């Protein structure tokens, strides 16, 4: 079985049109639709990926008062 991939964007009227397909009239074909992930949604999911980090006091203890051994 040969697979053909076409990436299309859904129109406002929710109609997709495929032109110039490599099939003859009368051939039986199967159509499978898969929604592609939206790259903008992945970027908003992890907004700090790829951004530079700045540590103000990297050697300063954090939450020192929460340690029972130090009290």
pLDDT single digits (tens) 4-44 = 888 888 888 989 888 888 999 999 999 898 888 766 655 57
CA distance 41 to 38: 5
pLDDT at site 70: 66
CA distance 62 to 60: 6
CA distance 30 to 15: 18
DSSP H or E run through 43: helix 39-45
Q: Which two tokens stand for residue 62?
A: 């954090």
pTM, whole model, 2 decimals?
Answer: 0.44
At CA 32, angle to CA 31 and CA 34, rounded to 5?
145
């Amino acid at each position: 079985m040969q697979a053909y991939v076409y990436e299309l964007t859904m129109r406002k009227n929710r109609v997709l049109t495929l032109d110039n397909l490599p099939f003859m009239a009368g051939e039986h074909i199967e159509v499978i639709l898969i929604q592609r992930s939206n790259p903008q949604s992945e970027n908003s999911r992890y907004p700090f990926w790829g951004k530079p980090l700045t540590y103000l006091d990297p050697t300063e203890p954090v939450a020192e008062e929460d340690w029972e051994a130090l009290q």
